[in-house]
Amino acid sequence: MRYMNKSIEELHELLVKGEVTSKELIDESLKLSHKLQDECNAFVTILDEAKETKVTDNLLSGIPFGCKDNYSTKGILSTGSSNTLKDYVPFFDATAYEKLKNAGAVMVNKTVMDEFGMGGTGTTGHTGTVKNPWDKTRMCAGSSSGSACAVAAGVYPYATGSDTGDSIRKPAAYCGIVGYKPTYGLISRYGLFPFASSLDHLGVLTRNVKDAAIVVDNMKGIDKNDMTSWDSSNIHLKDSLTGDVKGKKLCYIKEICDINNYKNPSNELKEHLENFMNTIQKAKELGIEVVEESVDQTLLNASPAVYVVISCAEATSNMSNLTGIIFGPRGEGDNYIDMMKDHRTKGFSPLIKRRFVIGSYVLQSQNQERYFRNAQRVRRLLVDKWKELFKKYDAVILPVGSGPAKKLDGSKDILTKETQVLEEHLQIGNYGGFPSITIPNGFIDNLPVGVNITGNCYDDENILNIAYALESTMPYKNQIAGIVGGEMDE
């Protein structure tokens, strides 16, 4: 009998009935963790000492989960997948993790990510590349790579993630699972290693929408340690999943979804967009009105640059605390400047250093107006445009990426300017702090692809309910990549 492929509610029922114990679940999850580690390298730490918890009314009690390694976990190694923190053991918990712990959830591993969340490939962590459980020659995307990999492989029903540009929602698509990033401030950021504070969100990766709702119900809440968090005591995500979506209105954006907008499209792209239109058809069958909208191509094209400028600027400042003086390996040198330089030179990967240079450059007083402030203005324009759409529609629905997971050796995925907006439009959800969820919507070449639904701030219940209804029309709910499958009790 396998348990870790089940949903949270199923597991809870089994636990309550006494058909399985928390310890048995943990043992199975740990065993799968080690197996998956050998295959895909998804974990920084596997917590073999994880202890069972008492089963209570809380749906999460007694059930294992994984935690992205940029969550501060008291007494447990938390590296952010960076050499600068390779031995860092925090003495305080991230609020969101503490809440899960208080719910009785059992953390069994810390998952690999792109270093400090910067990167979308799962190849920049200090413990090496994370492989896609559907096809090990492919990437999981990132930065919540290990979390997506492990949930897709059925190590546990959920893992936490963080999302600054698409770091939950794209790996979810590449791994055929659900990735949900709620409204900015619904979940406290206290204890999350920051990448770009104005864009950073916490969230979760699961195999169905209801599980995502259950987990975030337990992670959310106003926090005295995070001024951007807000009181959401009147929001009940799980309870809002009625499946009744008749009369809801969605829109998709012509400039992103119309195949005629791309010169010489690949077959993969054609299939992906066709598949997307099939999903639209299913939404209509549910009684949802779906309309094609048009957005200024120039504005859309500016989005990726806006992301680079703002995220790099905030990142370079946020990571200035990584000097090796107070924590992290102390650098060598005769004075503090040399010591800091040594620590940072040895600690960061080249990709991050490149981003720090960009961040520094755009913040310099002679460049700030041209780059940083202009990026902020365009960010505002994009957010205003989306808010305008939300006046007419419950949400914007769009395909995730230009197709399925890309090859790790890079042979197939030359990023073209043409598909850049398609690849990166999820950033707009971060610009506005919008609730945004990706669900699986099909396969291309036996590889999963996803669709994203993004709505207005504070409208999480509505967005999740639409995703929940749409999920029910497709056969991809609870799917598992077979890599570490097979009978566990053999």
Residue 44 touching other proteins (CB under 8 A): no
Contact of 131 with 408, CB cutoff 8 Å: yes
For residue 189 the two structure tokens come to: 């950021």
Q: How many whole angstroms separate alpha carbon 149 and alpha carbon 215? A: 18
Residue 325 touching other proteins (CB under 8 A): yes
Active-site residue flag, 145 = no
Tell me which residue has tokens 């957005």: 295
Taking the least distance from each CB to other proteins, the nearer of 248 and 343 is 343
Residue 327 touching other proteins (CB under 8 A): yes
Interface pick for other proteins out of 144, 323, 349, 402 (rule CB under 8 A) = 323
Helical packing angle, 460-471 and 267-285, nearest 10°: 100
Q: How many whole angstroms separate alpha carbon 201 and alpha carbon 195? A: 10
Interface pick for other proteins out of 129, 261, 266, 360 (rule CB under 8 A) = 360
Tell me which residue has tokens 């996803």: 450
Interface pick for other proteins out of 2, 88, 266, 443 (rule CB under 8 A) = 88
Q: How many whole angstroms separate alpha carbon 429 and alpha carbon 89? A: 32
Phi-psi category of residue 486: left, alpha or beta, with phi > 0 → left and psi -120 to 50 → alpha: left
Residue 72 touching other proteins (CB under 8 A): yes
- Give the length of the chain: 490
DSSP for residue 358: H
Scanning residues 369 to 408, which ones bind other proteins (CB under 8 A)?
Answer: 372
Number of Cβ within 10 Å of residue 52's Cβ equals 17
User: Least distance in Å: CB of 227 to other proteins?
Assistant: 6
Among the listed residues 71, 77, 199, 125, the one whose alpha carbon sits nearest the alpha carbon of residue 348? 125
Interface pick for other proteins out of 337, 357, 412, 482 (rule CB under 8 A) = 337
User: Least distance in Å: CB of 363 to other proteins?
Assistant: 4
Active-site residue flag, 365 = no
Active-site residue flag, 7 = no
Tell me which residue has tokens 């409204």: 183
Interface pick for other proteins out of 146, 165, 191, 404 (rule CB under 8 A) = 191
Interface pick for other proteins out of 314, 459, 460, 471 (rule CB under 8 A) = 314
Interface pick for other proteins out of 21, 56, 197, 266 (rule CB under 8 A) = 197
Amino acid identity for residue 265 in this structure: P
Taking the least distance from each CB to other proteins, the nearer of 206 and 430 is 430
Residue 98 touching other proteins (CB under 8 A): no
Question: Applying CB under 8 A, which part among 128-136, 148-156, 232-240, 323-331 lies near other proteins?
Answer: 323-331
Contact of 141 with 122, CB cutoff 8 Å: yes
Taking the least distance from each CB to other proteins, the nearer of 21 and 197 is 197
The active-site residue out of 143, 232, 303, 436 is 143
Question: Applying CB under 8 A, which part among 128-136, 171-179, 187-195, 470-478 lies near other proteins?
Answer: 187-195
Residue 157 touching other proteins (CB under 8 A): no
SS3 state of residue 365:
coil
Q: For residue 338, give Cα distances in angstroms to 127, 173, 322, 410.
A: 26, 43, 14, 37
Contacts of 260 (CB under 8 A, 6+ apart): none
List contacts with other proteins (CB under 8 A): 71-72, 78, 80, 85, 88, 90-92, 94, 189-194, 196-198, 224-228, 313-314, 316-317, 319-323, 325-327, 336-337, 340, 360, 363-365, 368, 372
Q: What amino acid positions are annotated as catalytic residues? A: 68, 143, 167
